[in-house]
Structure formats: C-alpha cells, structure tokens
Amino acid sequence: MTDERELVLHNVRTVRHGLDVAAHCGSDLAALGCSRVALVTSAPLRDLCKAPLKALHEADCEALVIDSGDGEPTTDDLAAALQAAREFQADAVIGLGGGSAMDVAKLVAALYSGDQALGEVVGIDLLQGRKLPLACIPTTAGTGSEVTPIAIVEDIEARLKKGVVSPHLVPDFAYLDPRLTRSMPRGVTAATGLDALTHCIEAFTNRFSHPVVDNWALEGIRLTGEYLERACADGDDMEARSAMLRAAHLGGMCLGPVNTAAVHALAYPLGGEFHIAHGIANSLLLPHVLRFNLETSPGRLALVAEALGIARSGDDTADALEGIERIEALSANIGIERHLSSFGISENTIPHLAAAAMTVQRLLSRNPREVTEADAQAIYAAAL
Ligand SMILES: [Fe+2]
C-alpha cells in the first residue's frame, strides 16, 4: 500500500488498440524476420482468423492454423499443438481466442525449442526463455491473457490445473480489436466480464497492491460497472465491447505485478472438479469473499464501491456493503447463477472444496485477511 514497495512490470512490447488492428500482425512479425506462423485458435473461431491470415499472407508469411481444443485447454491439447507447430517448423506463434487459445499459444512458443518440458516449468519463474516471437489476439473480454505472464492448462489425469508463471510468457504483440469480441455469446460475455472485474478488485484490495497498479484496477472496475450490462444486453454495442476489452486488458495488467487472492484460490476447485467456467466460479464467490474481507479493508472496498458508481456517505463500511450489493445485482442482471447449489454442490462437498482451496497458498497469501480452512468452509457455505 506504499509507493516505496518495489514493483516489477514486464510489459508487452507493442499493444495495438482499435478496429481492425489485427491486420498489423503480418507486418509486425515479418519485421522480426518471421515467415512461418502457427496460429493457435479454437475451431468455432475460424471465421475470426480471416483478417490475421490475410495480413500474414500479404506479408509473405506462411500460416498454419492449429486447433487449441474445446473448452479449457488440457496438457493433451498442448502436446498436440506443439507437435503441429514443430512439424510446420514455425518461427512465430499467434494465439487468437479466449484465455484457452492464448494460453496454449504462449506455451507452444515457450516450449517449442524442446529445451524444457511442461513438467519442468510448472510453477513460478522456472521457464528459462522463449525462442519464438508471440502475438495474442483476444476474442473475449475477461482473462487479459494477452498481457499476462501466466498460462494455465489442465492435467486431466491428475485432475489438476497446472499454471506456468514467467515473464517469458508475456507476448511481444497484443491486438485489441473490439470487433473480434462482437460474436461472443451473452453468457460468455457475462462470465468473462466478471472475471475481469474480479482481477481488478482482487488486485486493488490485495496485500501487495501498488499505487501504479491501483489506477489500472480502479479504471477496470469503473468500466465493468458502467459497460458490462450493456455489452450483455446488446452484443453489437461497440462502445460497450470496446470498454470491456479495455477493462479486461487493465485487469490482465494487474495480474503480473500484483495478482489475485482468495476469490481465485477458492474458485480453482470449482473449475477443476465441477467444471464451472472460471468467470462464473469467481462471480459465485466474489461477494462472499469481499464481505469476509470487509473487516480488514473497509477503506479499499469503499473505493471499489465508488468506482462502481456508489456515492460516498462518509461511512466506509456502509459504502463497501453497498458496493458488494451492486456486484450481486450486476451478476443477477446479466443472468449469472448466484448459488453453488445450482451446480450440484452441497454442504457435504464443502470440506473437500476448502481443503483443495487451502493448497492455493500463492494466492491466499495475497488476501488482505488471512483465510483459514474454517474460513474457507464458511465462505463456501455462504455461497451455497
Ligand atoms: Fe481469472
């Protein structure tokens, strides 16, 4: 909370915002001497690849489209994508899609040389380098993966999400074109938007928060509060789409230097075992974790409320509670389930969920209030 705290930022070299900016990917990669580009995406997004493929063609780059798999990526999806890229002899990688496609692309670029295997780089700062240039083109507005040093794949056999965190995963180029998010269905718009909101709130209320990052977080919260309902109500509302893409990008910028906290830690077991989409899992827990955090962070949570449009009354706790109610109303307005029980989770499951969440100490340790296993159980119970 002090500006004397050391802050390390690993930034994307070039970020292009605006309509049709993905058309620059060919010349940007060609300028680095690349001529064989592996474009990693998921099958339903093939249509959105037309513009980048045309741009690559015009820059005399050969391109191979690689399927990143359906849903959240697995270690098998990654292995298949890596093999395809190697057979093609790629010299650059583009990830086009949501967090899944971008995360696979990031790991393909990082592991392509074969110097390290996935098992050797799972964890923090274990990746030694990345030989291939990397560009990311988000088609959702949530993960901010186009700017983060993080990639996550699921090991189906171990029923575990494996996270790689390294500055070498930060892409060289990010292209933010709101038009590419237009075809996103309402449910995905809602869930990914709440993921972005959670990134911003968990960074702002984090034990490791920093004034530089605070500004990004508050702006991301403000944009989500103002525009997410609009983006969900009318997918063609380009002002809302653009604002949400910006909010997600700002949320992503918070993840590297500050990261998330208890909401994400408690959400992990819901994704890994109950296959609840990441943004939904966060939104189910967000109000309950914030109420839990209120006793340690009334001032910060009052500022979150203010960014969400709540007028300040002079009573931080009352303002913060109003802000939390605003988040609950936002979730309800965009059609997101509010209770864990809707996903088949019962009281009997809670001890197991809490035990799994306690293993995510790298995030729990960032929460402004210490979370014990009993606390985690109480938070899940409140969310039932
Ligand atoms: Fe997230």
Indicate the pTM of the whole model. 0.95
For the cut 60, the answer to whether the pLDDT of residue 2 exceeds it is: no
Mean of the per-residue pLDDT values of the chain: 95
Query: pLDDT-derived band of residue 12, with 50, 70 and 90 as boundaries?
Result: very high
pLDDT > 90: percent of the chain = 90
CB 296 within 8 A of CB 368: yes
pLDDT > 70: percent of the chain = 99
Residue 296 alpha carbon to ligand 1 centre in Å: 23
Ordered by where they begin, the domains of the chain are 14-181 (3.40.50.1970), 186-383 (1.20.1090.10)
Cα 38 from Cα 47, distance rounded (Å): 16
pLDDT tens readout for residues 296-312: 999 999 999 999 999 99
Residue 253 alpha carbon to ligand 1 centre in Å: 12
Residue 34 alpha carbon to ligand 1 centre in Å: 32
Residue 194 alpha carbon to ligand 1 centre in Å: 9
pLDDT confidence of residue 71? 79
- Three-state SS annotation for the chain: CCCCCCCCCCCCCEEEECCCHHHHHHHHHHCCCCCEEEEEECHHHHHHHHHHHHHHHHCCCEEEEEECCCCCCEHHHHHHHHHHHHHHCCCEEEEEECHHHHHHHHHHHHHCCCCCCHHHHCEECCCCCCCCCEEEEECCCCCCHHHCCEEEEEECCCCEEEEEECHHHCCCEEEECHHHHCCCCHHHHHHHHHHHHHHHHHHHCCCCCCHHHHHHHHHHHHHHHHHHHHHHHCCCCHHHHHHHHHHHHHHHHHHCCCCCCHHHHHHHHHHHHHCCCHHHHHHHHHHHHHHHHCCCCHHHHHHHHHHCCCCCCCCHHHHHHHHHHHHHHHHHHCCCCCCHHHHCCCHHHHHHHHHHHCCCHHHHCCCCCCCCHHHHHHHHHHHC
Residue 348 alpha carbon to ligand 1 centre in Å: 26
pLDDT confidence of residue 3? 54
Tell me the sheet residues that pair with 152: 163
Residue 264 alpha carbon to ligand 1 centre in Å: 6
Residue 248 alpha carbon to ligand 1 centre in Å: 10
Residue 357 alpha carbon to ligand 1 centre in Å: 15
For the cut 80, the answer to whether the pLDDT of residue 86 exceeds it is: yes
How far from chain centre, in Å, is Cα 293? 22
Residue 242 alpha carbon to ligand 1 centre in Å: 19
Residue 136 alpha carbon to ligand 1 centre in Å: 17
Residue 268 alpha carbon to ligand 1 centre in Å: 10
pLDDT tens readout for residues 306-358: 999 999 999 999 999 999 999 999 999 999 999 999 999 999 999 999 999 99
